[in-house]
Amino acid sequence: MITKKTLNLSLKSLKEFGKKRLPDEVRIELDERDECPLDIVRDMCDPDKLGIQLLFVPEDCGGMGGGAFDVYRICEAMAAIDLGIATSVLATFLGSDPITVGATPEQKKRWLGKIAEEGILFAYGATEPDAGSDLGALKTTAERVMDGDKIIGYKISGLKQWISNGGIADAYSILANAPGGPSWFVVEKDAPGFTHDKPENKHGIRTSNTAALALESVYVTPDRLIGGVEGQGLLQAQAVFGYTRLMVAAFGLGAGWAALDRAMPYSTKRIQAGGPLSEKQGYTHKLIVPNVTRLEAARAFIEETAERIDSGAEGSLNTEGAIAKYMATEAGNKAAEDSIQALGGYGYTHEYMVEKISRDVRITIIYEGTSEIMEMTISRDRWQLHLKTRGQHYHDLARQSETLHAQHPNVGADTAALALHALAEVLERARVGRLTRFQHVLLRLGELIAFAESAACLARRAAKAEEGRLHEKASDRFNAGSMAALSRIFAREAACKVAQDGLQLVVGAGGVTEAEVAAFEASLGLPAIHRAQAGLIADMDLVADTLYGRAEKHAEAAVALQR
């Protein structure tokens, strides 16, 4: 268990480490040289130096036993420093995750103990040249080595692709097909028959080492089979998705904010047309405020999911992890891309860093499951809920949001409810028209679900903030009033998106009569959604004022508007 004080101390040490060892000039050079600074990665994981890995390792294995909430805060902070180096640290945790969830007590003590006490680096070897999103297509094999009827080891053969820390790790978790099914094995770097390729020349995260691996009859003893039972590999990988995707979600959040934290100060100094860019609504309300809003909606989802994982009561929360990853990484990408625009020509050069952040954060919508795979995961799971509840699931959630609105009329919960009701109608229309036979519709529904659920979640977070009941380790970047404004803005966006995109999908899929389109339009609550847009620009003004420290100047206007 990590206290708030310990977490804050770790965040502070991490920030100081970043400032000292990874100033912009160093990062630019490393990026240009396409180099992973192994000494820095090792120092981050050295228990006698920064020892950041201790937070992730359970206490009984020599670590500090951080929970999902701690891990989210640390991952966000690491990503804000440098996403490539953060990926290197993450790889150790991805690599050790099959051990954390599936290993025998002896294996846990041995490997997690080595991570905690010796700071060894791990890599996670799942992806193959022909098995990426579809891990079931895995070709690497683990052949039993027998002595009579006793298994005395395994010979692993195959190729692994795009492995973070592939060329620098001390130990690797390798997913291979054993006779009993896909299984994880620990392979050490100097095992005979094991080689890695030269580092990939990548678009971004060039400060991380990514390499292909080759295994030619690599012999391992039976104690290297994680959990000691064959065939558990995909289950072990699945069991941690909620948690690992939350880490990548936090990466999207950290990198997106890192870009905005460069764009905003720049805009206060850059004078165009007689005044700073930060004073120009056409600039802030396009390039800054919408990105802040989406990032904070994603944060709400991350924090709620982290709390639920830490409560231990609800299983692995795979779909919630997928929504958090999808929303945060897409938001992080858009924020970084818009930050290039916000810096104009300067943004397009290496020196101003936002283009590096933009290249780096691009990976977060690819690794640990692409955005399209997230859309599929979200859609399939929630589709089942829609069917199981005979179409009531999202109407029920909408009613909960309406109840919240009765207690907290300023947090946008009424508009979030409109988004959820509209979503229920879109899903129902998709059921009647059997529209999920179109894969495009299925995946787009995943996006609508993620937006509507995030809107409700942000409204809950804003309500908690009003009550002073946020998690003690929650981010405190915004006060309750600004968070309520962010929530109102995001709920409006979500409601519009669900209704309009839903309408486009349903009509676009064909087979609906004029009368059915009219009935569907009426069921979506479009007039209410349109009316809920009232106050949008004033709320965006309020958020911009908060971001630029002008909140007091306009506080009176905001209060008057809410009345």
Query: Contact residues for ligand FAD (CB under 6 A)?
Result: 91, 124-127, 132-133, 162-164, 202, 205, 210, 363, 366-367, 370, 372-373
Residue 325 Cβ, how far from ligand FAD at the closest point, in Å? 12
Residue corresponding to tokens 């620009």: 537
Residue 333 Cβ, how far from ligand FAD at the closest point, in Å? 13
Residue 443 Cβ, how far from ligand FAD at the closest point, in Å? 7
- Using CA atoms, how far apart are residues 128 and 66, in angstroms rounded to an integer? 31
Residue 251 Cβ, how far from ligand FAD at the closest point, in Å? 12
* Contact of 287 with 338, CB cutoff 8 Å: yes
Q: Is 400 exposed, middle or buried (0-12, 13-18, 19+ CB in 10 A)?
A: middle
Nearer to ligand FAD, 127 or 379 (CB): 127
- Using CA atoms, how far apart are residues 53 and 108, in angstroms rounded to an integer? 15
Q: In this chain, which residue has its C-beta nearest to ligand FAD?
A: 132
Measuring CA to CA, which residue among 163, 189, 171 is closest to residue 226?
Answer: 171
Query: Strands 122-125 and 271-272: what pairing?
Result: unpaired
CA distances from 436 to 184, 239, 377, 428, 557 (A): 34, 27, 13, 11, 47
Q: Which amino acid is at 50?
A: L
Query: Strands 275-276 and 181-188: what pairing?
Result: unpaired
Residue 215 Cβ, how far from ligand FAD at the closest point, in Å? 14
- Using CA atoms, how far apart are residues 445 and 498, in angstroms rounded to an integer? 9
3-class DSSP state of 349: coil
- Using CA atoms, how far apart are residues 155 and 140, in angstroms rounded to an integer? 10
Nearer to ligand FAD, 304 or 368 (CB): 368
- Using CA atoms, how far apart are residues 159 and 137, in angstroms rounded to an integer? 13
Catalytic residues: 368
* Contact of 385 with 374, CB cutoff 8 Å: no
What are 142's strand-pairing partners?
156
Cβ count near 434 (within 10 Å): 11
Residue corresponding to tokens 């979506």: 524
- Using CA atoms, how far apart are residues 236 and 98, in angstroms rounded to an integer? 6
Nearer to ligand FAD, 367 or 490 (CB): 367
- Using CA atoms, how far apart are residues 385 and 134, in angstroms rounded to an integer? 24
Residue 29 Cβ, how far from ligand FAD at the closest point, in Å? 20
- Using CA atoms, how far apart are residues 354 and 347, in angstroms rounded to an integer? 6
Nearer to ligand FAD, 91 or 354 (CB): 91
3-class DSSP state of 48: coil
Nearer to ligand FAD, 202 or 460 (CB): 202
- DSSP letters along 186-227, please? EEETT-TTEEE-PPP--SS-TTS-EEEEEEEEEEE-GGGBTT
Measuring CA to CA, which residue among 224, 240, 208 is closest to residue 68?
Answer: 240
Residue 280 Cβ, how far from ligand FAD at the closest point, in Å? 36
Structure tokens at 283: 């600039």
Residue 9 Cβ, how far from ligand FAD at the closest point, in Å? 29
Residue 264 Cβ, how far from ligand FAD at the closest point, in Å? 29
Residue 373 Cβ, how far from ligand FAD at the closest point, in Å? 6
Nearer to ligand FAD, 244 or 487 (CB): 244
CA distances from 493 to 57, 278, 496, 516 (A): 39, 23, 5, 25
Nearer to ligand FAD, 26 or 135 (CB): 135
* Contact of 378 with 322, CB cutoff 8 Å: yes
Nearer to ligand FAD, 251 or 266 (CB): 251
**Helix, strand, coil percent content, the chain, rounded in steps of 5:** 65, 10, 25
Nearer to ligand FAD, 173 or 454 (CB): 173
Nearer to ligand FAD, 264 or 373 (CB): 373
* Contact of 162 with 201, CB cutoff 8 Å: no
